[in-house]
């Protein structure tokens, strides 16, 4: 049985998996796997329910007329473009099957692990289903192509806009960095995560990139306080997770001895865009922060 605090962190991170980058109208994380892969010969989806905010955002930018239902999300609720689209869930709750069925979708798109049960039921009712697990920039591009194929839209304008978020030239990974997503336990992303893949593209030499561990969250490793101090990174990135007090990190005995703290190189990143892709606007904001942090262009 997981401790309650760790269980809460696991749930938060899992619900984040489905959420992307683009500064302009077409805007924008991942191993992308499908329950039923859409192929050129498959019927074109005309009524799509998106159970993650990132898939809803992408579909809306590709062809807003195809989107008939979305998951409740703070990110989407703040965007007026989504205000008239029916919600099939609220917060971190599971989607309401009856609400989805009432929308008569021909395609439902959800997140691996989190939406498996509801997608199984929809499949049994004859609804095409697809899933995603965003853990890299490449996966974001693959997801965009799959969605475009499913609704018969052109993905290229959106894919080109993604590149505006990245440095024009891949920077050398020279600045030692540790990212801490939570404090109890200390969780840090390795390279098999959205955050781990993202920071490497901006010049961070992540000290946890190659680590493997027993963390219950794929793409993350658990660190001891001693290990954090042993790493003693040049830059330390803390993640602002809703409901967590970021100042509690400062109470750790090792805090004042960290090189990043001594040199005032501790940075705060928002959970959405950096850990959980969330939306294309959230990803764009995270990329701008990282450009400033690592001096990339």
Report pLDDT digits (tens) over 127-179: 999 998 899 999 999 999 999 999 999 999 999 999 999 998 888 889 999 99
**Domains and their CATH numbers in the chain:** 22-163 (3.40.50.1980), 175-294 (3.40.50.1980)
CB atoms within 10 A of CB 268: 11
CB 190 within 8 A of CB 47: no
- For residue 61, the number of C-alpha atoms closer than 13 Å in the C-beta half-sphere is 30
Residue 210 has pLDDT above 60, yes or no: yes
Place of tokens 């619900």: 15
CA distance 20 to 139: 10
pTM comes to 0.84
Average pLDDT, the chain: 86
pLDDT digits (tens, 9 = 90+) for 221-241: 999 999 999 999 999 999 988
Per-residue pLDDT at 51: 96
Task: For 16, list phi and psi in degrees, rounded to 5.
Answer: -85, -25
Instruction: Count Cα atoms within 13 angstroms, Cβ side, for 75.
Output: 26
């Amino acid at each position: 049985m997981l401790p309650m605090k760790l269980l809460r962190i696991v749930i938060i991170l899992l619900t984040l998996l489905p959420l992307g980058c683009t500064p302009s109208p077409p805007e924008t994380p991942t191993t992308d796997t499908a329950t039923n892969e859409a192929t050129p010969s498959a019927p074109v989806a005309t009524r799509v329910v998106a159970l993650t905010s990132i898939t809803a955002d992408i579909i809306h930018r590709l062809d807003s007329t195809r989107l008939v239902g979305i998951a409740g999300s703070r990110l989407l609720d703040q965007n007026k473009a989504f205000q008239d689209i029916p919600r099939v869930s609220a917060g971190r709750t599971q989607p309401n099957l009856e609400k989805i069925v009432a929308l008569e979708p021909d395609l439902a798109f959800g997140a691996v692990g989190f939406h498996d049960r509801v997608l199984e039921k929809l499949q049994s009712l004859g609804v095409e289903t697809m899933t995603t697990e965003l853990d890299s920039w490449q996966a974001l591009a693959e997801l965009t192509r799959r969605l475009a194929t499913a609704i018969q839209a052109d993905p290229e304008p959106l894919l080109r806009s993604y590149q505006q978020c990245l440095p024009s030239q891949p920077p050398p990974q020279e600045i030692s960095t540790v990212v801490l997503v939570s404090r109890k336990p200390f969780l840090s992303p390795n390279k098999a995560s959205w955050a781990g893949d993202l920071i490497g593209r901006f010049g961070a030499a992540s000290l946890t990139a190659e680590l493997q561990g027993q963390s219950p969250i794929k793409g993350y490793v658990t660190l001891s306080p001693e290990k954090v101090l042993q790493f003693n990174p040049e830059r330390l990135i803390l993640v602002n997770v809703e409901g967590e007090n970021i100042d509690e990190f400062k109470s750790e005995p090792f805090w004042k001895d960290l090189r990043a703290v001594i040199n005032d190189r501790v940075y705060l990143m928002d959970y959405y865009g950096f850990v959980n892709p969330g939306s294309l606007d959230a990803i764009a904001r995270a990329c701008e922060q990282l450009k400033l942090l690592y001096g990339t262009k």
